[in-house]
Amino acid sequence: MSELKTLTAKEVQEKLEAGESLHLIDVREDDEVAEGMIPQATHIPMGDISMHLDELDTETEYVLICRSGRRSENVGWFLHDHGYKVVNMTGGMLEYQGETKPKA
């Protein structure tokens, strides 16, 4: 069994602050992202991921985000098993110290 790639919340923050372009997907629920999410992230709740597969590119690497890193890991395995390139942000938004803003 292969391993799911990971980045820490700090590593994601550092990459964004350095100007790197990351494809972020926040899989938390609406009420969670209303409190704040990484501005560059796209919000697709965990339960809706399967309905959005046609919007994702199998050649693009996606960094998955949730509150603590557990739900995003589960989504990561689901996407991985469907041929997508994914990275789980470990520690989730609980450990992310960068800029956030409520979902527009």
- Token output for 59: 């050649």
- Tell me whether residue 66 is one of the annotated catalytic residues: yes
Going edge to edge, which strands form the sheet with 61-65? Answer: 5-8, 85-90, 61-65, 23-26, 42-43
- Token output for 102: 């409520």
Of 24, 64, 66, 86, the catalytic one is 66
Encode 14-39: b = buried (16+ Cβ within 10 Å), e = exposed.
eebeeeeebbbbbbbeeebbeeebbe
Active site residues: 66
